[in-house]
Structure 1
Amino acid sequence: MLKSTLGSSQNDGKFNEGEEMKKKVEILCVLDRSGSMSSIMEEAVSAFNGFVEQQKTLPAKANLTLVAFDHEYTVVYDKVKLAEVQPLKVSDVPPRGMTALNDAIGRAMANVTSKNVVMLIQTDGHENASKEYTSEAVKKLIEEKKAIGWDISFIGAGIDAFASGSAYGILRDKCLSVGKNEKG
């Protein structure tokens, strides 16, 4: 599922070939762990693990940061070399709480200074608990990061990911809607 959202369609979801493969890539994943994710968290974790395993087969040197959020923000992996990332378990990110989506996106982006970034946002809900960032501030930040080369994708489970992602300035071809059930 995640593979189909990253990179260009010309290279099957892999990082840009050629010169881009020589650059160090920062992979930034923002994973919703709010209570409403409980029915699909196992599938979300499995998809994340599959994405990581697929990226490990590529020659690009990459670090991975994973943040999980509800009404709180938790850094699960902080710039870990991709080859050293251990499989995520549901017990690492148990669903709970509200959805502070704006704060999670804003904080995650603010903590990365690299220009060669692949960012993935995965959520099943709409903002309902942020205190630091507004939707407008996040959209501005996303537009700034895209302008310097960030590749940002949005996966929505049980929501209109195209509408939600585009509200943040994420291109429609970088959005994916999936059904909200145990099969994804």
Structure 2
Amino acid sequence: MTSQPTLVAFLLDRTGSMESVKAQTIEGFNAYLAGLQAEDADIAFSLIQFDSMSIDVLCANAPVKEVRPLTEATYQPRASTPLIDAAVKTIRAVEVAVAGKAVAPKVIVTFQTDGEENCSSEHDWLELNLLIKEKAALGWQFNFLGAGIDAYQQGQRMGLKDEAVVSYAKEDRVATRAMFAQRAARARAFAVGEAADMAIPLEEKRAAGDRYAEAPRTPPQAPALGRRPPRRAIVDKIDLG
């Protein structure tokens, strides 16, 4: 087992459209958490929930075995989808947390959403794209979990390769739970040095009910500016210290 610690940050969509799959999402996320807790790996875990009303840190760099499962009380969908702003702020917060470590950790950042970006105002697609590519070049691992959407289109705009993306059948509780559990198993394997990366194999995508993985896609376009007129920030910054 490798002695290098691993920092896992999970950005979870808490927007109103997730209400219809609230139970599946809670169950799936808890399967993910249980999977990370299954072995004695040196994992620090952060959970951030986002919507257009607030971006909230439920736990920050906590030993993964101490993290509590989601409940009906701690996951309450509402409002709209500032995906770009939430993703940039999450990455920046992880950046600060990594810089404060005596031993540089491995890093896994996971984004989960069932909708498209629709209300970010502080950051844009190009900024997010360049930021993800910068961190990926340093060895950071990214996953984008699209709940019933064509996650590949948004993933391309974010700067993610298709192997980092899955679009799962959000209405299917079995497929949802299996997908979250498989991503946890891969994260655990990466943490202990048994997997080189967080790539999502095709068979895993098929098991998740991914209708888009093998569909024809147009070549990715350069990310366009996506910033809206300035307004009050949802949150100035996220602190994972």
Please state if 1:100 is matched with 2:90.
no
SS at 2:94's partner residue? coil
Q: Could you tell me how far apart the structure 1 residues matched to 2:122 and 2:112 are?
A: 20
Question: How many residues in Structure 1 have an aligned counterpart in Structure 2?
Answer: 165
1:51 equivalent in structure 2: 32
Residue type matched to 1:148 in 2? L
Q: Is the 8 A contact 1:39 1:182 kept in 2?
A: no
Residue type matched to 2:14 in 1? R
Give the percent of matched residue pairs that are identical in Structure 1 and Structure 2.
32
1:156 equivalent in structure 2: 146
Residue type matched to 2:119 in 1? A
Residue type matched to 1:59 in 2? D
SS at 1:76's partner residue? strand
The structure with the largest strand share of the pair is 1
Q: Could you tell me how far apart the structure 1 residues matched to 2:26 and 2:138 are?
A: 29
2:111 equivalent in structure 1: 121
| Unaligned runs of at least 5 residues, structure 2 | 99-104, 177-241
Please state if 1:181 is matched with 2:171.
yes
How much does 1:146 deviate?
0.5
TM-score (norm 2): 0.65
Q: Could you tell me how far apart the structure 1 residues matched to 2:147 and 2:45 are?
A: 23
Q: Is the 8 A contact 2:24 2:170 kept in 1?
A: no
SS at 1:132's partner residue? coil
Please state if 1:141 is matched with 2:131.
yes
Please state if 1:63 is matched with 2:63.
no
TM-superposition CA deviations, 1:44-97 (whole Å, max 9, x none): 121111111111123320111111001021111111110100111132120000
Q: Could you tell me how far apart the structure 1 residues matched to 2:108 and 2:29 are?
A: 14
Runs (4+) of structure 1 moved beyond 6 Å? none
2:60 equivalent in structure 1: 78
Larger radius of gyration: 2
TM-score (norm 1): 0.85
Please state if 1:27 is matched with 2:8.
yes
How much does 1:133 deviate?
1.2
Q: Is the 8 A contact 2:83 2:116 kept in 1?
A: yes
How much does 1:180 deviate?
3.6
How much does 1:182 deviate?
5.5
TM-superposition CA deviations, 1:111-159 (whole Å, max 9, x none): 1132511111100001111121111111111111101111100011121
1:168 equivalent in structure 2: 158
CA RMSD after TM alignment: 1.4
How much does 1:42 deviate?
1.8
1:5 equivalent in structure 2: none
1:88 equivalent in structure 2: 70
Q: Could you tell me how far apart the structure 2 residues matched to 1:26 and 1:90 are?
A: 26
